């Protein structure tokens, strides 16, 4: 959450107003600064300052109210010895990786389909867009019902015994249900970005390629995918970061269960607030923040200079 | 009940208006609660949020507002910002709130005023008042006055019991024998709903452990250990809960096969339809069952946990308790409404209507046959607060319980509780 905000707020400073003369740029700069100030102030007040306060309290034994004292890095050391915390990290990373792959594969396929010469294109695009505008918790409760009641009943009628107990009650496979529902909600957003990318590719290149005798797969591999790579990066980074913060869909589907099998880091942090573990989970939040920043930086480093441009 | 005058017809509307204001934003509630209303009354904000009885308390508040001209009570039924309100120093002036470990933190930190001087405090049954201290105690203060006790046991279908000639079990082996009888006749002995994790704690965990061991004693000794707690300490879950957990697992053999994917509402439906003989739920489920099938004949008995019927106890919780924060600047006005709520007719009417018990000495007995089976235990103060309610939120005991009933690994469950408790105690030492 905070990371995207940083990027958005930061992008304003990078933009240099072009234009000849000496007076106009200065004037324009002032305008840019004026546009920037409210965002920076609000961001500092509501994101940076609370973040710093949280970091401060992670070094104390604060319960959220009442007395507190400094305890140094004890919250951090006990965090790394807590299997429950470590398990939540493994689950969250696994979930985020799988969901990113699933979402991007499906979204790319759907975008290629919806960009093709098909009937009802606009209507179909609208239908595929619907999941995006429904709140995650609502989707989760609907799917919860489907997984717990509809699917087992259907399985019973087909005589498929393994399907008769809900996927959500299966300790080893409940994560799959969460991936399915998260992907269902996240695919449309990624499709839109891929569609934008596809529409930005001029038709002439495809025509030229076709004249040269390139088949559909060759055109995808050598033209579409390289030119779309920037959009793949955007979807991967934003998607992965979003999936790391998984919360509402898990709450609605499994509540972290069965047992603690699907307890995400965000859930662990939030549950600690209610449970008098404020300072301890603040330490967890700081570690998670650093982790998310590192992952995003690594992703950026990895993909830098791999983008292909037409010009 | 009472004749309706012009002002009384107006008052509920006004309360509703102010109440919805309080509900809309905490800020609105604070504005309404600050200072006094135009007619010279002191306005107090009264927090009460038990969903089933919000309208009931709306009527009580309206009655009280109409009955005198000193205090104007605004009913606030949104508790979500309770802790932040304490942090900001603007808690409600009076609360009639579920007393649990969470609420006990206000007691432990001395945020509640001493009600020990009130005559009403001396009317409370000492056995009931002790329940407050089992979670927290601040000096020798009486910080909380219990208002309503709900007692929970095994809900059973009287028709099914009579049909197969089974009588109410008094010992653990009689319970298992009853289960075997029902199972052999194709009736689900005990319907359970593992999808809603709180139901595992409420029923299986709390009931079995409550009768099998001294829960309050165990947790007070465990808390006394502080950071020294752990699997090898003199009291530990591994040592003291082993027997109870084995018994829980034994009962799983007599549970509906689809329990892992059933939730609380499913359990109510299954029991109301007569699919099962027994149901491990509290009195709140009885009302739901009656809505689904008014014809089902229901009774409640205390679950035995040992071979000695004298060990059997019922699970209670202080469903509602009254407290007044120190931070309230309107102590007198709050106490005036508290005295009204504590009037025997007001208190006893509420509790009789909600299948609960009043908390005073010589409180009236339960007349409803659906819960009257628990009366002897309430009379003798043979009750306990569920083991599951003693865990701080930082330990996800409900999730661990779900893992236990799915994996049936008692040792892993107990070790996990011991380790988590030790870690929690160490970082809060």
Residue-by-residue DSSP string for B398-425:
HHHHHHHHHH--HHHHHHHHHHHHHHHH
Does residue A75 belong to any structural domain of this protein? Answer: no
Identify the pLDDT of residue B79: 82
Identify the pLDDT of residue B270: 95
Same domain, residue pair A212 and A290: yes
Q: For the segment A232-265, what is each residue's pLDDT rounded down to a tens digit?
A: 988 988 899 999 999 999 999 988 878 889 999 9
pLDDT band at B32 (very low <50, low <70, confident <90, very high): very low
Q: Taking CB atoms and an 8 Å limit, are B420 and A61 in contact across chains? A: no
Identify the pLDDT of residue B10: 35
Identify the pLDDT of residue B38: 58
Average pLDDT over every residue of A80-97? 92
Same domain, residue pair A254 and A110: yes
What separation, in Å, do the N-terminal and C-terminal C-alpha atoms of chain B show? Answer: 55
| Confidence check: pLDDT of A1 > 90 | no
Same domain, residue pair A32 and A90: no
Same domain, residue pair A123 and A192: yes
pLDDT band at A24 (very low <50, low <70, confident <90, very high): low
Same domain, residue pair A33 and A157: no
Decide if B309 touches A, using CB distance below 8 A: no
Decide if B427 touches A, using CB distance below 8 A: yes
Mean pLDDT comparison of A200-214, B79-93, B174-188, highest-scoring range: B174-188
Identify the pLDDT of residue A25: 55
Same fold, B6-149+318-353 and B152-316+371-427: yes
pLDDT band at B300 (very low <50, low <70, confident <90, very high): very high
Query: Which 146-175 residues of chain A touch chain B by CB within 8 A?
Result: 147-149, 152, 164-166, 168-169, 171
pTM for the complete prediction? 0.80
Q: What is the 3-state secondary structure (H, E, C) of B265-318?
A: HHHHHHHHCCCEEEECCCHHHHHHHHHHCCCCCEEEECCCCCCCHHHCCEEEEE
Architecture per CATH, domain B152-316+371-427, reads as 3-Layer(aba) Sandwich (3.40)
Which residue, chain included where needed, has tokens 């009913």? B75
Write the CATH number for A264: 1.10.3720.10
Query: What is the domain extent for residue A148?
Result: 80-303
Domain count, chain A: 2
Identify the pLDDT of residue B136: 87
Same domain, residue pair A53 and A165: no
Q: For the segment A162-182, what is each residue's pLDDT rounded down to a tens digit?
A: 777 788 888 889 999 999 999
Q: What six digits make up the tokens of B344?
A: 């025997």
Same domain, residue pair A246 and A189: yes
Does residue A308 belong to any structural domain of this protein? Answer: no
Same domain, residue pair A32 and A151: no
Sequence spans of domains, chain B? 6-149+318-353, 152-316+371-427
A152: chain B residues, CB-CB within 8 Å = 258, 261
Residue B261 has its nearest CB partner, among A148, A259, A276, at A148
Question: Which of B50-54, B163-167, B176-180, B307-311 is predicted least confidently?
Answer: B50-54
Q: For the segment B45-77, what is each residue's pLDDT rounded down to a tens digit?
A: 999 988 888 999 999 999 999 999 999 999 999
Decide if B412 touches A, using CB distance below 8 A: no
Decide if B80 touches A, using CB distance below 8 A: no
Q: Taking CB atoms and an 8 Å limit, are A148 and B263 in contact across chains? A: yes
Q: Taking CB atoms and an 8 Å limit, are A271 and B396 in contact across chains? A: yes
Identify the pLDDT of residue B52: 80
Residue A276 has its nearest CB partner, among B105, B111, B194, at B105
Q: Taking CB atoms and an 8 Å limit, are B393 and A152 in contact across chains? A: no
User: What is the distance in angstroms between the Cα of B412 and the nearest Cα belonging to chain A?
Assistant: 12
pLDDT band at A276 (very low <50, low <70, confident <90, very high): confident
Average pLDDT over every residue of B364-385? 90
Q: Taking CB atoms and an 8 Å limit, are A257 and B86 in contact across chains? A: no
Same domain, residue pair A165 and A30: no
Average pLDDT taken over every residue of chain B? 88
What separation, in Å, do the N-terminal and C-terminal C-alpha atoms of chain A show? Answer: 34
Name the fold adopted by B6-149+318-353: D-Maltodextrin-Binding Protein; domain 2 (3.40.190)
Burial class from Cβ neighbours inside 10 Å (0-12, 13-18, 19+) for residue B270 reads: buried
Same domain, residue pair A190 and A277: yes
* Nearest-5° Cα angle at B195, A241 to B245: 110
Residues 6 or more apart from A248 whose CB is under 8 A from it? A135, A136, A137, A140
| Confidence check: pLDDT of B5 > 80 | no
Q: What six digits make up the tokens of B392?
A: 């701080």
Same domain, residue pair A134 and A192: yes
pLDDT band at A159 (very low <50, low <70, confident <90, very high): confident
Same domain, residue pair A23 and A144: no
Does residue A189 belong to any structural domain of this protein? Answer: yes
Identify the pLDDT of residue A275: 67
Decide if A271 touches B, using CB distance below 8 A: yes
User: What is the distance in angstroms between the Cα of B332 and the nearest Cα belonging to chain A?
Assistant: 25
């Amino acid at each position: 959450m905070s990371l995207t905000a940083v990027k958005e707020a930061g992008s304003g400073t990078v933009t240099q107003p072009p234009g000849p003369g000496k007076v106009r740029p200065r004037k324009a700069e002032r305008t840019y600064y004026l546009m920037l100030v409210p965002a920076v102030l609000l961001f500092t007040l509501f994101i940076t300052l609370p973040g710093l306060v949280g970091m401060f309290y992670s070094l104390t034994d604060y319960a959220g109210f009442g007395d507190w004292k400094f305890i140094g890095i004890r919250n951090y050391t006990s965090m790394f010895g807590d299997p429950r915390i470590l398990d939540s990290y493994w689950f969250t990373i696994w979930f985020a990786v799988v969901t990113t792959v699933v979402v991007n594969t499906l979204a790319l396929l759907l975008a290629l389909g919806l960009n093709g010469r098909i009937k009802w294109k606009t209507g179909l695009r609208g239908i595929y867009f619907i999941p995006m505008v429904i709140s995650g918790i609502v989707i989760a409760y609907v799917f919860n019902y489907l997984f717990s009641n509809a699917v087992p009943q259907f399985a019973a009628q087909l005589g498929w015994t393994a399907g008769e107990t809900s996927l959500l009650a299966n300790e080893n496979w409940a994560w799959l249900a969460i991936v399915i529902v998260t992907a269902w909600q996240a695919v449309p957003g990624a499709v839109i970005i891929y569609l934008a990318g596809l529409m930005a590719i001029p038709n002439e290149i495809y025509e030229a390629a076709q004249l040269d005798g390139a088949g559909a797969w060759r055109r995808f591999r050598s033209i579409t995918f390289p030119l779309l790579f920037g959009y793949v990066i955007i979807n991967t980074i934003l998607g992965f970061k979003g999936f790391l913060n998984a919360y509402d869909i898990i709450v609605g589907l499994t509540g972290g269960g069965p047992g603690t099998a699907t307890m995400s880091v965000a859930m662990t942090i939030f549950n600690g607030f209610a449970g008098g573990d404020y300072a301890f989970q603040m330490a967890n939040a700081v570690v998670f923040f650093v982790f998310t920043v590192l992952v995003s930086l690594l992703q950026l480093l990895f993909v830098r200079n791999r983008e292909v441009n037409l010009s | 009940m009472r004749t309706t005058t012009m002002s009384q017809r107006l008052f509920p509307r006004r309360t509703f208006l102010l109440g919805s204001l309080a509900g809309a934003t905490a800020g609105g509630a604070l504005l309404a609660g600050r200072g006094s209303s135009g007619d010279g009354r002191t306005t107090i904000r009264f927090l009460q949020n038990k969903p089933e009885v919000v309208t009931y308390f709306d009527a009580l508040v309206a009655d009280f507002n109409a009955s005198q001209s000193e205090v104007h009570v605004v009913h606030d039924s949104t508790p979500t910002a309770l802790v932040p309100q304490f942090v900001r120093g603007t808690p409600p002036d009076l609360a009639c709130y579920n007393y649990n470990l969470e609420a006990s933190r206000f007691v432990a930190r001395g945020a509640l005023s001493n009600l020990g001087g009130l005559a009403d405090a001396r009317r409370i049954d000492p056995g009931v008042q002790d329940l407050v201290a089992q979670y927290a105690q601040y000096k020798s203060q009486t910080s909380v006055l219990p208002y309503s006790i709900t007692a929970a046991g095994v809900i059973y279908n009287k028709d099914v019991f009579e049909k197969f000639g089974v009588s109410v079990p008094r010992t653990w082996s009689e319970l298992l024998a009853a289960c075997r009888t029902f199972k052999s006749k194709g009736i689900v002995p005990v319907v359970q709903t593992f999808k809603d994790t709180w139901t595992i704690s409420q029923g299986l965990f709390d009931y079995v452990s409550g009768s099998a061991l001294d829960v309050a004693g165990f947790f007070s000794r465990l808390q006394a250990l502080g950071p020294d707690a752990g699997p090898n300490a003199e009291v530990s879950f591994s040592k003291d809960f082993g027997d109870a957990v084995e018994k829980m697992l034994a009962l799983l053999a007599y549970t509906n096969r689809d329990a892992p994917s059933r939730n609380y509402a499913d359990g109510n439906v299954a029991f109301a339809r007569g699919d099962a003989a027994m149901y491990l739920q509290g009195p709140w489920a009885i009302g739901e069952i009656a809505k689904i099938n008014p014809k089902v004949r229901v009774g409640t008995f205390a679950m035995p946990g040992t071979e000695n019927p004298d060990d059997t106890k019922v699970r209670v919780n202080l469903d509602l308790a009254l407290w007044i924060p120190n931070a309230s600047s309107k102590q007198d006005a709050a106490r005036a409404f508290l005295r009204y709520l504590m009037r025997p007719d007001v208190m006893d009417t509420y509790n009789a209507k909600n299948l609960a018990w009043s908390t005073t000495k010589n409180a009236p007995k339960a007349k409803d046959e659906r819960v009257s089976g628990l009366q002897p235990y309430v009379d003798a103060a043979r009750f306990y607060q569920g083991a599951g309610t003693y865990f701080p939120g930082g330990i996800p005991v409900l999730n661990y319980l779900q893992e236990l009933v799915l994996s049936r690994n008692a040792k892993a469950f107990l070790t996990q509780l011991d380790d988590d408790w030790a870690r929690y105690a160490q970082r809060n030492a």
